[in-house]
């Protein structure tokens, strides 16, 4: 996972968790994500992959 930018620290944990636990897009989409945070973007991306996105 490569993440660059001023809030990269907020997103890197999401990528590490997904890779470490070999999570599928379905598992990422259905896991808890804090609101409002940038980590919600990971959930939305995963939901888009499984055709369930609500904020596009």
Catalytic choice (21, 30, 33, 35) = 35
Residue 35 designated active-site: yes
Find out whether 46 and 28 touch, Cβ atoms under 8 Å: yes
Q: Are 40 and 11 in contact (CB under 8 A)?
A: no
Report the alpha-carbon distance of residue 13 to residue 16 in Å, rounded. Answer: 5
Enzyme catalytic residues: 35
């Amino acid at each position: 996972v490569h993440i660059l930018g001023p809030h990269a620290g907020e997103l890197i944990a999401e990528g590490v968790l997904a890779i470490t636990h070999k999570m599928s897009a379905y598992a990422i989409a259905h896991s808890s994500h804090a609101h409002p945070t940038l980590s919600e973007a990971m959930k939305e991306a995963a939901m888009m992959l499984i055709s369930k996105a609500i904020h596009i």
